[in-house]
């Protein structure tokens, strides 16, 4: 007599055969730069065995020189098997977190002193890039970390730490989902307060730029959509979060070895990108000189836990003020780097680069227009100055005024721009002029 095959086993078998072709088409998949050679299941957890079937699946994706674990939520209800698009099924995740329960090694837990409403449907946010986020009603948002890393995800760790010290510039953490990877606890998902009135900083900033471009005879400070006041308040919020992270998790001072390691990493990135992108070659001597100058930063350099991937798309404006989101760090960076102590100026530099991108994004793909370029630069300079002014006003003593660490801040900003050159060259060649023009301007200003 043949053994009975369970519906969830049949589902997993079907999914596994289609994953090598399906995964590269997903916007959250981080391995689009090379072929998928094999996919093998690591762990299966049946969340619903009835009709429809709901399975949490962890797989190892094998590519040339790379093996990485990803999580999937699959069902037999839809043709592409992706259960995150089915509100009735994703509601099961919230119900399990609210119940504070465990299913076959997958631990669903709410935070202490939190009571959650169950029975809500979850709808996906389509703008999510490297993860999948589900919104439940107008109350909760659940982020599923698609590419898994060993241990607690820094997004959860830092949100919990900030909440414990009363940080007012984050969305409150409400719960989590924890699995195992190679025998280690691994963060699978994080539930937070959802803020339906929030607008992301990128949308606000680019609207301001469009307003300026439409008013040919007005300066940035004369346009109704001037963003400088918001940029200053955003600087204050970022500095406050850095201070709260220092209070929660402490700070250290970089020694000579730390500084040397930082400079060496920037130079190594520069050499690697310059070899691949010929357009960067004319700027290599000036960039190398700027990175070497970072060694000469006067005084002690404070290092601590930081956001790690800060830009205008990682901040939300609510009626209460600015909030920072997504403390996961740069998704493509190794977990050791994302959890390491670094200078808060890294975050400042990331935001300065984002202001530059917001200012110049309307010029991409258009015929050269000197007047528009001048206005874009005016907007960028005004808002960069407002942001650093706000940061300096609220900065804790160990962080200080970023303008007093010019060589280091400049090096971090240029390092970020070199990273952008590599990204744009590989993904959006028409955008390559944005970081290259910034590199030309910043290195030129530094030479004077």
Domain ranges of the chain: 84-193, 199-447
pLDDT of residue 333: 84
Q: What do you get for the CA distance between the two ends of the chain, in Å?
A: 85
Q: What is the pLDDT of residues 393-436, one digit of tens each?
A: 999 756 678 988 889 999 999 999 999 999 999 889 999 999 99
Please give the model's pTM, rounded to 2 decimal places.
Answer: 0.93
Percent of the chain with pLDDT over 90: 76
Following DSSP, what letter does each residue of 104-134 receive, concatenated? TTEEEEEPTT-----S--EEE-TT-SSSEEE
CATH of domain 84-193: 3.30.200
Residue-level pLDDT at 219: 64
40: exposed, middle or buried (Cβ count in 10 Å: 0-12, 13-18, 19+): exposed
Q: How many CB atoms lie within 10 A of CB 214?
A: 10
pLDDT surpasses 70 at 220: no
Residue 140 confidence (pLDDT) above 90 = yes
Q: How far is CA 281 from CA 364, 419, 424, in A?
A: 22, 14, 16
CA distance 52 to 369: 57
Q: Is the pLDDT of residue 10 over 90?
A: no
pLDDT for the residue 169: 98
- What Å distances lie between residue 393 and 1, 105, 200, 239, 401, CA to CA? 77, 48, 23, 8, 8
Q: Which residues have C-beta within 8 Å of that of residue 150, sequence separation ≥ 6?
A: 181, 182, 184, 186, 335
The Cα 170–Cα 172 span in angstroms is 6
Q: What is the pLDDT of residues 35-80, one digit of tens each?
A: 999 999 999 999 988 788 899 999 999 999 889 999 999 998 777 7
Tell me what the mean pLDDT of segment 311-319 comes to: 97
Round to whole Å and give the CA distance between 189 and 424. 30
Q: Write down the architecture of domain 199-447 according to CATH.
A: Alpha-Beta Complex (3.90)
When pLDDT is cut at 50, 70 and 90, the band that residue 447 belongs to is low
Name the pLDDT band for 11 (thresholds 50, 70, 90).
confident
Over range 101-121, report the average pLDDT.
96
Is the confidence at residue 313, as pLDDT, over 60? yes
Instruction: Provide the 8-state DSSP code for 217.
Output: T
Question: What confidence tier does 1 reach under pLDDT thresholds 50, 70, 90?
Answer: very low
CB burial string 185-210: b at 16+ within 10 A, e below = ebbbbbbbebbeebeebbebbbebbe
Res 330 pLDDT > 90: no
Q: In the predicted model, is pLDDT for residue 336 greater than 80?
A: yes
Burial class of residue 34 (count of CB atoms within 10 Å of its CB; 0-12, 13-18, 19+): exposed
Q: How much is the pLDDT for 222?
A: 65
Say if residue 256's pLDDT is above 90: no
Please name the helix (run of DSSP H) or strand (run of DSSP E) that holds residue 317, with its range, or none: strand 315-318
**pLDDT tens digits for 158-209?**
999 999 999 999 999 999 999 999 999 999 999 999 999 999 999 999 999 9
């Amino acid at each position: 007599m043949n053994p009975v095959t369970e519906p969830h086993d049949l589902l997993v078998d079907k999914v596994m055969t289609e994953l090598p072709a399906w995964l590269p088409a997903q916007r959250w998949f981080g391995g689009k730069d090379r072929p998928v050679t094999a996919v093998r299941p690591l762990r299966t957890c049946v969340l619903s065995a009835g009709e429809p079937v709901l399975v949490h699946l962890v797989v190892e994706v094998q590519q040339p020189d790379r093996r990485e674990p990803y999580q999937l939520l699959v069902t037999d209800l839809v043709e592409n098997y992706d259960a995150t698009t089915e509100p009735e099924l994703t509601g099961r995740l919230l119900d399990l977190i609210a119940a504070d329960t465990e299913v076959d090694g997958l631990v669903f837990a709410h935070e202490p002193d939190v009571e959650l409403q169950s029975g809500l449907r979850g709808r996906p946010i389509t703008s999510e890039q490297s993860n999948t986020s589900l919104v439940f009603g107008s109350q909760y948002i659940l982020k599923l970390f698609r590419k898994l890393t060993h241990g607690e995800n820094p997004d959860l760790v830092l949100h919990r730490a900030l909440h414990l010290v009363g940080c007012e510039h984050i969305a409150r953490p409400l719960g989590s989902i924890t699995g195992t990877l190679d025998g280690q606890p691994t963060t699978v998902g994080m539930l937070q307060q959802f803020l339906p009135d929030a607008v992301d900083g990128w949308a606000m900033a680019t609207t301001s730029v469009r307003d300026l471009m439409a008013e040919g005879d007005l300066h940035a400070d004369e346009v109704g959509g001037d963003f400088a006041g918001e940029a200053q308040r955003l600087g204050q919020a970022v500095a406050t979060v850095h201070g709260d992270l220092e209070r929660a998790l402490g700070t250290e001072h970089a020694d000579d070895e730390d500084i040397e390691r930082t400079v060496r990493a920037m130079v190594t990135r520069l050499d690697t990108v310059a070899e691949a992108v010929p357009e960067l070659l004319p700027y290599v001597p000036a960039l190398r000189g700027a990175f070497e100058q970072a060694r000469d930063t006067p005084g002690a350099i404070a290092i601590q836990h930081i956001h790690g991937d800060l830009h205008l798309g990682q901040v939300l404006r609510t009626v209460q003020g600015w909030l920072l989101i997504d403390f996961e760090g740069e998704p493509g960076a190794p977990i050791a780097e994302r959890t390491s102590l670094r200078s808060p100026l890294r975050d400042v530099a990331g935001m300065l680069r984002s202001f530059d991108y917001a200012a110049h994004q309307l010029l991409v793909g258009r015929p050269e227009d000197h007047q528009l370029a001048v206005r874009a630069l005016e907007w960028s300079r005004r808002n960069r100055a407002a942001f650093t002014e706000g940061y300096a006003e609220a900065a804790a003593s160990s962080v200080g005024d970023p303008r007093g660490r010019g060589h280091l801040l400049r090096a971090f900003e240029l390092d970020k721009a070199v990273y952008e050159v590599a990204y744009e060259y590989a993904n959006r060649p028409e955008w390559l002029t944005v970081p290259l023009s910034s590199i030309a301007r910043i290195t030129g200003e530094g030479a004077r």
